[in-house]
């Protein structure tokens, strides 16, 4: 598969950028941080209107039958503007799980509404620091689920979740009756919640080794979307840093003339371009044997790019960089929440090295 974007793909990038820049502003995002349980409605409304939720789903269920490449382009733009809701990734992950591992009945029941964005999906695999635990905290007995799925991104508003439960088994759960407790986070717009299952009906998608493999695959798909979002965030920060470095003056010259500043921005350029290259490559490997390897590389370089860009951009701004108002901390927070959401770098390093050493589990 080609790793050059075609005209249609480039149009998606331009159009989504235009739509997002018109609809998302830092002044709307800042208040979200101080309140639990609020996401940025205009972002999600835009996503639905523009068909982003339908983009990578099959036509038979109201999708647009495009793929990870196109979704990645949008996630990149969402990352640039700091999308104020986690659902682009999590609904996509849940929908893909249903598409790949669900029955015809389950697909018919959930996919059309996930495609239109009316239904919101979530993924609940993690147990504490482990994004893919060998012993999940949620117990499956028969077709009933018990226990707490902790810190589910988007969990506060999700209608349906794909859960990794004991067995291991991958199950589909209607969340309508499920109790949720919002987590007060450094990035509240992620709408993170603990989901408490108490004898909750669940439908099995996969069991045993197949469940783990399926969960890793879903996590990798989400990681590639997230990596695009991280790269977008890093790119935006690099541009902000660059602009500030040519305008702000000290000692009679722009601070960008000091090599400790300009070289830092040049290093960011390197991190952003490596992450972008890995993202494009990973998206184009969907369905291939090396997809997980490519996803891990994308994830690692994008996390490094966004975290570094967040740190350095604040530093380059000096005092103003650490104020609430200017909002660089929005990116700092987002860089960290995205770094944790689909499994930390420790996890992806292990996945990658296992594959390179030829002994993947």
Partner 1 sequence: MSDLEAWRAKAVAWCESMVPTFGKAARKGLSVEDDLALGRRYQKAKFDAGFAGINWPTDLGGQGLGHIEKITFEAEEMKHGFPNVYFGISLGMPVPVLMQFGPDRDFVKERVLKALQGEEIWCQLFSEPSGGTDLAGLRTRAETDGNGWKINGQKVWTSWAQYSDYGVIVVRTDPTVAKHKGLTYFWVDMKAPGVTVRPIKLAGGDSHVNEVFFDDVKISDDHRMSPVGGGFAVALATLMIERYVATDSAGFGPHLDLFVDLAKEVRLNGKPAIEDGRIRQQIARNYAMRAGLDSINVRARRMMEAGMTPGPEGSLNKLVAVRSRQKLSELALDLQGAGGFAFDEHASPKDDWASSWINAPTGRIAGGSDETLLNTIAERILGLPQDHRPDKGIPFNQIPA
CB hemisphere CA count around 283 (13 angstroms): 28
Which of 259, 287, 289, 319 is close enough to bind partner 1 by CB under 8 A? 259
Integer Cα distance of 279 and 6 in angstroms: 16
Region of 137-145, 153-161, 249-257, 318-326 interacting with partner 1 (CB under 8 A): 249-257
For position 356 contacting partner 1 by CB under 8 A, the verdict is yes
How many chain residues are in contact with partner 1, going by CB under 8 A? 40
* CA atoms of 333 and 356, how far apart (whole Å): 32
Among 15, 174, 194, 350, which residue interacts with partner 1 (rule: CB under 8 A)?
350
> CB under 8 A: which stretch of 26-34, 113-121, 266-274, 318-326 binds partner 1?
266-274
Task: Name which position in 59, 179, 199, 349 contacts partner 1 (CB under 8 A).
Answer: 349
CB 102 within 8 A of CB 205: yes
Which CB atom, from 156 or from 283, has the smaller least distance to partner 1? Answer: 283
Q: How far apart are CA 361 and CA 357, in angstroms?
A: 11
**Contact indicator for 95, 57 with CB cutoff of 8 Å:** yes
In our burial notation (b when 16+ CB lie closer than 10 A, e otherwise), range 126-161 reads bbeebbbbeebbbebeeeebbbbbbbbbbbbbbbbb
CA distance 27 to 25: 5
Give the per-residue contact string, 1-30, with partner 1 (x = CB under 8 A; - = no).
Answer: -xxx--------------------------
Residue 234 as a binder of partner 1 (CB under 8 A): the answer is no
Out of 267, 327, 336, 344, the residue judged to bind partner 1 by CB under 8 A: 267
Contact flag: residue 67 with partner 1 (CB under 8 A): no
Short-list 87, 91, 80, CA closest to 121 = 91
212 alpha-carbon distance from chain centroid: 20
The total number of residues shown for the chain amounts to 361
Is 185 or 278 the residue whose CB approaches partner 1 more closely? 278
Query: Considering the rule CB under 8 A, would residue 342 count as an interface residue with partner 1?
Result: no
Question: 151 vs 340, which CB is nearer to partner 1?
Answer: 340
Query: Residue 136: what are its φ and ψ, rounded to 5°?
Result: -65, 155
- For position 280 contacting partner 1 by CB under 8 A, the verdict is yes
Residue 197, sorted as left (phi over 0), alpha (psi -120 to 50) or beta, turns out to be beta
Rounded least distance, CB 149 to partner 1, Å: 27
Interface mask (CB under 8 A) for partner 1, residues 290-309, using x and -?
----x-xxx-xx--x-----
Instruction: Select from 150-158, 160-168, 196-204, 260-268 the region that touches partner 1 (CB under 8 A).
Output: 260-268
Cα–Cα distance list, 301 to 88, 114, 275, 319, 330 (Å): 21, 30, 5, 28, 20
State the residues that interact with partner 1 by CB under 8 A: 2-4, 242, 245-246, 253-254, 256-257, 259, 262-263, 265-267, 269-270, 273-275, 277-278, 280-281, 294, 296-298, 300-301, 304, 346, 348-350, 352-353, 356-357
């Amino acid at each position: 598969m080609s790793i050059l974007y075609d005209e249609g793909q480039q149009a998606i990038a331009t159009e989504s950028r235009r739509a997002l820049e018109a609809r998302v502003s830092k002044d709307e995002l800042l208040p979200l941080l101080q309140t639990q349980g609020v996401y940025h409605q205009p972002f999600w409304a835009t996503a639905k209107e523009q068909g982003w939720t339908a983009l990578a789903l099959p036509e038979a269920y109201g999708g647009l039958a495009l793929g990870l490449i196109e979704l990645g382009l949008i996630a990149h733009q969402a990352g640039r503007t700091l999308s104020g809701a986690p659902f682009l990734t999590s609904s996509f992950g849940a929908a893909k799980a249903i598409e790949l591992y669900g029955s015809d009945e389950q697909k018919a029941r959930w996919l059309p509404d996930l495609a239109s964005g009316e239904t919101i999906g979530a993924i609940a695999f993690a147990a504490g620091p482990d994004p893919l635990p060998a012993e999940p905290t949620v117990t499956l007995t028969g077709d009933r689920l018990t226990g707490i799925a902790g810190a589910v991104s988007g969990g506060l508003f999700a209608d349906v979740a794909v859960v990794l439960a004991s067995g291991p088994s991958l199950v589909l759960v209607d969340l309508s009756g499920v109790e949720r407790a919002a987590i007060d986070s450094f990035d509240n717009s992620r709408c993170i919640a603990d989901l408490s299952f108490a004898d909750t009906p669940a439908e099995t998608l996969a069991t045993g080794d197949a469940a783990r493999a399926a969960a890793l695959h879903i996590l990798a798909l989400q990681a590639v979307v997230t990596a695009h979002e991280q790269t977008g965030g890093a790119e935006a920060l690099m541009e902000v840093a660059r602009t500030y470095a040519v305008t702000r003056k000290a000692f009679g010259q722009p601070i960008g003339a000091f090599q400790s500043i300009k070289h830092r921005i040049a290093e960011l350029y390197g991190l952003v371009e490596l992450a972008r290259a890995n993202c494009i490559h990973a998206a184009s490997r969907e369905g291939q044997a090396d997809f997980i390897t490519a996803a891990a590389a994308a994830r690692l370089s994008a996390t490094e790019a966004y975290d570094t860009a967040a740190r350095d951009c604040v530093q380059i701004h000096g005092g103003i960089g650490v104020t609430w108002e200017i909002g660089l901390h929005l990116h700092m927070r987002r860089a960290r929440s995205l770094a944790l959401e689909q499994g930390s770098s420790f996890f992806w390093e292990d996945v990658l090295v296992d594959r390179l050493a030829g002994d993947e589990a």
